[in-house]
Structure 1
């Protein structure tokens, strides 16, 4: 692992963000590829993985984004937390707006419960867009953190950025599966299911490169950008991931998955920072 960290230290931060999110995209594709091997999806396991995703995202929001964002903000007392409040609020409002505009359908919900503007788009596209909505703040968070390291901000470390990429990659694996398998049950070919599953994460490299470039170009925005990504991720967890994981009788399993995801992400962030 130390060799990976040293490698990322030696390359351009934008390139590092791109490579890290290609890794997370690859794990999404790996999860989607299970559609070639499995005929069905165990609901208890699936709900546990959704809970795991939520736990990783909440832990990453605090340990990798909010805490460093507050630490590197100027001032003392209430003044020090103002950038975090502003950034966090704007991030949540950004995903709130996308949630109202972008047509999508959550994985465990009925087709009549689709959200966003009304559209005649096929359910397969709506399911893919729902997971894509998860991935925008994740890619942005990775890019912003790598950009912060380059800008020399205290609290932003390569180890922390790598830990965030690993954590997000781990929870992307079940997300790819979460798109592919329901589509298979609708009768789509395995290749189409795989393609929809892996395409849900294509926004991560794009968001990461934009995030890294933005904080390197406009250094004062870094505390705001870190907390923006945190606000966006927390909104996704509360509005989408947790409700999706609580739709069946396996609520205890999804809750334990959440706890496990939180602990793993916390351990990665503290251990590699």
Structure 2
């Protein structure tokens, strides 16, 4: 299987990897068929685990390779990492302000729970299900982009270690996509939506990953000097999502110690995968 995968073009490799991450989102959403609800402590632990995976992937799979690639370039080796990282965060911040979305476990006004309500431009014009899907979609854009850029790095260098690193990143993204699918489908089911529709909306949020993955691959394939900037850009976008959305979401129910422990577990698992396999 591995030999067959290595022989495929970077485009096919990226597509297969991001279809896997999409599939993990769908698998998480499929819990709606087997359970009426997920224990809040379990959900908080899964979200914190996802945050740990994203933080570790941002450094080990994206920032560190970006710095290494820039070492022989015409600019200081830290410059692409700094510029790309900050641009990634600024880009996601801008999208967060514009795209209408609603975080799981929140009501649209925020007045009943004291939590944040729907965000973005004119969120009241959208149904709750649409806002939930858009929130998780916002998470998945940088994840798919990061996987595509990682495979683009392999396409440019031909290094087997880069390919292993890209596959490791896809595995990590898949692991953390599982709770994201659940975090959409379960709230919708509790509100009375049918299991089938709740699953549909849950998995739909992962559809953007194959698309953004191919975009990332295409960008670095046509502009090779852009590669370290693109890797750092993906890292910055992922860190913004993690700090602004994932970590707060894992702590909203008061399980702060549990969330801290599982964030460390997620970080450790992703670090182990990247160092051991990459």
TM over 0.5: yes
User: Which whole-Å CA distance do the structure 2 matches of 1:249 and 1:148 have between them?
Assistant: 41
Tell me the CA shift for residue 156 of structure 1.
Answer: 6.2
SS in 2 for 1:64: helix
Q: Which moved more, 1:248-257 or 1:214-223?
A: 248-257
Q: 1:156 to 1:68 in 2, by over 3 A?
A: farther
CA deviation map 1:160-202 (0-9, x unaligned): 0110011110111111111000000111111110000000010
CA contact (8 A) 1:109 1:244 kept: no
CA deviation map 1:71-129 (0-9, x unaligned): 100458x8110011111111111101110000001113332111111232111111111
2:105 is the counterpart of 1:101: no
User: Which whole-Å CA distance do the structure 1 matches of 2:103 and 2:172 have between them?
Assistant: 22
Structure 1: state its 5+ residue gaps: none
Q: Which moved more, 1:155-164 or 1:135-144?
A: 155-164
- Select the residue among 27, 39, 44 that pairs with 1:42: 39
2:229 is the counterpart of 1:239: no
User: Which whole-Å CA distance do the structure 2 matches of 1:7 and 1:65 have between them?
Assistant: 25
Matched residue, 1:89? 86
Q: Which runs of 4+ in 1 moved over 6 A?
A: 153-156
SS in 2 for 1:111: coil
Matched residue, 2:156? 151
CA contact (8 A) 1:68 1:156 kept: no
Matched residue, 1:72? 69
CA deviation map 1:7-48 (0-9, x unaligned): 332111011001000011011101101101101120000000
CA deviation map 1:145-164 (0-9, x unaligned): 10110101769611101100
Q: TM-score, normalised by structure 2?
A: 0.94
What is the root-mean-square deviation in Å for CA atoms of aligned residues? 1.6
Tell me the CA shift for residue 49 of structure 1.
Answer: 0.4
- Select the residue among 22, 30, 44 that pairs with 1:25: 22
User: Which whole-Å CA distance do the structure 1 matches of 2:101 and 2:205 have between them?
Assistant: 12
Q: 1:156 to 1:219 in 2, by over 3 A?
A: farther
SS in 1 for 2:77: helix
Q: TM-score, normalised by structure 1?
A: 0.95
Matched residue, 1:63? 60
2:147 is the counterpart of 1:142: yes
Tell me the CA shift for residue 251 of structure 1.
Answer: 1.3
User: Which whole-Å CA distance do the structure 2 matches of 1:69 and 1:213 have between them?
Assistant: 17
2:247 is the counterpart of 1:250: no
User: Which whole-Å CA distance do the structure 1 matches of 2:5 and 2:70 have between them?
Assistant: 25
Aligned length: 270
CA contact (8 A) 1:91 1:230 kept: yes
- Select the residue among 186, 191, 196 that pairs with 2:201: 196
Structure 2: state its 5+ residue gaps: 110-116
User: Which whole-Å CA distance do the structure 2 matches of 1:223 and 1:153 have between them?
Assistant: 16
CA contact (8 A) 1:72 1:155 kept: no
